[in-house]
Chains A and B, each alone.
Chain A
Amino acid sequence: DVKVTQSSRYLVKRTGEKVFLECVQDMDHENMFWYRQDPGLGLRLIYFSYDVKMKEKGDIPEGYSVSREKKERFSLILESASTNQTSMYLCASTSQGARGYTFGSGTRLTVV
Chain B
Amino acid sequence: DQQVKQNSPSLSVQEGRISILNCDYTNSMFDYFLWYKKYPAEGPTFLISISSIKDKNEDGRFTVFLNKSAKHLSLHIVPSQPGDSAVYFCAASYSGGSNYKLTFGKGTLLTVNP
Q: Is A9 an interface residue (CB 8 A)?
A: yes
**Contact in complex: B46, A100 (CB < 8 Å):** yes
Q: In this assembly, does A20 line the interface, its C-beta being within 8 Å of a C-beta of chain B?
A: no
A106 surroundings in chain B (CB, below 8 A): 41-43
B93 near A: Cβ within 8 Å?
yes
Annotate A1-23 by CB proximity to B: 1 below 8 A, 0 otherwise: 00010000100000000000000
Interface residues on B, range: 20 to 34
Q: Considering the complex, which residues of chain B in the window 89-114 have a beta carbon less than 8 Å from any beta carbon of chain A?
A: 89, 91, 93, 98-102, 104-107
Chain B residues near A88 (CB-CB < 8 A): 41
Q: Which residues of chain B have C-beta atoms less than 8 A from A90's C-beta?
A: 43-44
Which of A48, A104, A108 makes the CB contact (< 8 A) with B41? A108
Dominant secondary structure at the B interface:
loop
Q: 1/0 per residue A86-104: CB within 8 Å of B?
A: 0010101011111111111
Interface residues of B in 25-66 (CB under 8 A from A): 32, 34, 36, 38, 41-46, 49
Query: Given A4-B43, A99-B34, A100-B34: A40 and B9 within 8 A (CB)?
Result: yes
What sequence of 0s and 1s flags, for each residue 1-19 of chain B, a beta carbon within 8 Å of any chain A beta carbon?
0000010010000000000
Question: Quick check: B107 and A42 within 8 Å, CB to CB?
Answer: yes
A40 CB to nearest chain B CB (Å): 7
The answer to whether B102 touches A101 (Cβ under 8 A) is yes
Given A42-B89, A99-B32, A105 contacting B43 (CB threshold 8 A): yes
CA distance A92 to B44 in the complex (A): 9
Q: Which residues of the other chain, A, contact B43 by a CB distance below 8 angstroms?
A: 4, 90, 92, 103-106
A-B contact pairs, 5 of them (CB 8 A): A40-B106, A95-B100, A99-B100, A100-B91, A103-B45
Which A-chain residue is minimally distant from B109 (CB atoms)?
A39
Contacts of A94 in B (CB 8 A): 100
A104 to B46, CA, bound (A): 12
